[in-house]
A = this chain, B = another copy of it.
Amino acid sequence: MIGATLREGSVGAVITRTLLEKFKGEVYLVNPSYNELLGRKVYKSVLDVPGNVDLAIIVTPAPTVPRIMRECAMKGVRVAIIISGGFSETGESGARLEEEVKENAQGRVRILGPNCTGVYNAYNGLDTFFVPRNRMERPRPGPIALISQSGAVAGLILDWAARRNIGVGLAVNYGNKLDINEAELLEYLAKDSRIKVIVMYMEGLKYPGEGKKLIEVMKAITKTKPIIVYKAGRSRSSSKAVRSHTAALAGNYEIYRAMLRQAGAIEVNNLFEAFEVAKALVTQPLPRGNRVLVITDSGGIGVQSVDNLELMGLLIPELPEELRENLSRSLPPLVSVINPIDLTSGATDEMYKLVLNTVLPTNYVDMALIAAYMQLPGMTPKLADYIIDAKRFGKPIVVFSIGDNEDTRIFKAKLEGSGVPTYDRLEVAAKALRALYDYAVIRGVAAAEYS
């Protein structure tokens, strides 16, 4: 940790404390101004540190970084994360400084940054995000990884994911991208078996040839691991904002879209949606078609479900006569059994169970959206068990449920804990099912698109 400090309100202090408290590896503090911090020895230079150094985190003023990088190369440091700003993002003299840093690394030190928030690794506690935990929560370890072109945007979404109990294993912001770029980060995450889905936030690319390389890499990865992309900077004015933010070229959005589609990436419209969709991709099997069974206890939610699913290009097929008669025999007379199955306000969890076990094993539907209005008297959290049990049919299931009463909370927590994603917006539930279908097509699992 080069630039180790405890100075109140400083970026260095947040990272120093986090490393000492959370990181599971060995930490060496470096700062010529101190001999000791929190009872630990502080070295004058990375060259004074005994033994090998795998990673240097650099949080010192920009003008000092070229010299520090030279020392890192001499020491045999393999990777450096340069958190410090004041480089190419500030203008010409900063750009020259950045060049100098690159030269001094002599191709021996790989560099993340500069001008970045670096890495959040939930597995080993390596965390260079410099917003303290009382202002930004960190998510629990999980199978989602995030690559973000914006540090603040990454911070916002990690905090949100933590509060939603969404597991994120690794997150990275690469700042000015002096060396390590998106394509390489993707390749790294593709190899990490703990990561099941990769989320990317991108505004634009900077260097010639980057786009082609990125698409190639994505194409290879999406054959085995889904990549979800939120591309911002979609209009002419926002392209200008992208340039002033990351010096990248936002490019023509339609061209990006076409490229992402070609690469097998799943596109979303914001990062909340990205993480909600990721929840489905890491837990659900892939569907063999685009036909959705909808079960609800509110006619209105049934109508809205159909609107949202159809907007996503999914199909809500009428169930065949025979199956409907079969259902009607066991359900109260007012229940609509066409699809959506509307169990009405007299719904019980047992009725949901009956429909799930009757319809899901048939060849008429490929996935299910279950909308459960827990406020009704016949509904209990036992429904979660029935839904979890229905996973044995091997078809994707997502649940829409809103409310914050005790039963709803227990219901949702049970489902999420057993790998059934829950959503509080129908459009997000529909988008999650669409993403599953899209990825099934990409993987060659979905046989047909019904219409």
Residues of A bordering B, CB below 8 Å: 9, 89-90, 131, 134-137, 148-153, 155-156, 159-160, 163, 201, 203, 232-235, 237-238, 240-242, 244-246, 250, 269-270, 272, 297-304, 306-307, 310-311, 316, 333-334, 336, 338, 340, 342, 345, 373-377, 402-407, 425-427
Name the distance in Å between A275's Cβ and chain B's nearest Cβ.
13
Instruction: Report if A156-B403 is in contact (Cβ < 8 Å); known contacts: A300-B150, A307-B238, A375-B131.
Output: yes
Q: Is the CB of A303 within 8 A of B238?
A: yes
Name the distance in Å between A317's Cβ and chain B's nearest Cβ.
9
* A375 surroundings in chain B (CB, below 8 A): 131, 135-136, 155-156, 159
Chain B residue nearest to A89 (CB atoms) is B334
Q: Is the CB of A303 within 8 A of B203?
A: yes
Closest 8 CB pairs of A and B: A245-B299, A150-B300, A152-B298, A238-B306, A153-B300, A244-B336, A135-B375, A235-B310
Q: Is the CB of B407 within 8 A of A201?
A: no
Question: What is the bound-complex CA distance between A9 and B135, given in angstroms?
Answer: 44
Q: Is the CB of B135 within 8 A of A304?
A: no
* A402 surroundings in chain B (CB, below 8 A): 156, 159-160
Question: What is the bound-complex CA distance between A417 and B334, given in angstroms?
Answer: 45
Q: Is the CB of B245 within 8 A of A342?
A: yes
Instruction: Report if A304-B245 is in contact (Cβ < 8 Å); known contacts: A373-B152, A375-B159.
Output: no
Name the distance in Å between A2's Cβ and chain B's nearest Cβ.
20
Name the distance in Å between A73's Cβ and chain B's nearest Cβ.
29
Q: Is the CB of A135 within 8 A of B405?
A: yes
Among A235, A300, A405, A407, which residue has the most Cβ atoms of chain B within 10 A?
A300
Instruction: Report if A407-B135 is in contact (Cβ < 8 Å); known contacts: A159-B375, A298-B152.
Output: yes
Q: Please pick, from B9, B131, B152, the residue contacting A300 in the complex, using a CB distance under 8 A.
A: B152
Q: Is the CB of A405 within 8 A of B163?
A: no
Q: Is the CB of B310 within 8 A of A152?
A: no
Q: Please pick, from B9, B238, B297, B376, the residue contacting A310 in the complex, using a CB distance under 8 A.
A: B238
Name the distance in Å between A300's Cβ and chain B's nearest Cβ.
3
Q: Please pick, from B131, B149, B159, B406, the residue contacting A376 in the complex, using a CB distance under 8 A.
A: B131
Name the distance in Å between A112's Cβ and chain B's nearest Cβ.
18
Name the distance in Å between A71's Cβ and chain B's nearest Cβ.
27
Question: What is the bound-complex CA distance between A89 and B335, given in angstroms?
Answer: 11
Name the distance in Å between A130's Cβ and chain B's nearest Cβ.
9
Chain B residue nearest to A235 (CB atoms) is B310
Question: What is the bound-complex CA distance between A163 and B425, given in angstroms?
Answer: 16
Chain B residue nearest to A233 (CB atoms) is B303
Interchain Cβ contacts under 8 Å between A and B, 18 examples? A135-B405, A150-B299, A151-B345, A152-B345, A152-B376, A156-B403, A159-B403, A160-B402, A203-B300, A232-B307, A233-B307, A234-B307, A238-B307, A240-B338, A241-B303, A241-B338, A244-B299, A272-B425
* A149 surroundings in chain B (CB, below 8 A): 300
Instruction: Report if A270-B304 is in contact (Cβ < 8 Å); known contacts: A159-B375, A342-B244, A375-B159.
Output: yes
Q: Is the CB of A301 within 8 A of B153?
A: yes
Q: Is the CB of B407 within 8 A of A302?
A: no
* A148 surroundings in chain B (CB, below 8 A): 300
Q: Is the CB of B244 within 8 A of A338?
A: yes
Name the distance in Å between A449's Cβ and chain B's nearest Cβ.
16
* A131 surroundings in chain B (CB, below 8 A): 375-376
Q: Is the CB of B135 within 8 A of A303?
A: no
Q: Is the CB of B136 within 8 A of A241?
A: no
Q: Is the CB of A306 within 8 A of B270?
A: no
Name the distance in Å between A291's Cβ and chain B's nearest Cβ.
12
* A90 surroundings in chain B (CB, below 8 A): 333-334
4 extra A-B contacts, CB within 8 A, seeds A153-B304, A246-B299: A90-B334, A241-B302, A241-B336, A270-B304
Q: Is the CB of B232 within 8 A of A303?
A: yes
Question: What is the bound-complex CA distance between A403 and B234, given in angstroms?
Answer: 25
Q: Is the CB of B237 within 8 A of A135?
A: no
Chain B residue nearest to A153 (CB atoms) is B300
Chain B residue nearest to A173 (CB atoms) is B300
Chain B residue nearest to A297 (CB atoms) is B152
* A407 surroundings in chain B (CB, below 8 A): 135
Q: Please pick, from B89, B153, B163, the residue contacting A298 in the complex, using a CB distance under 8 A.
A: B153
Question: What is the bound-complex CA distance between A149 and B238, given in angstroms?
Answer: 40
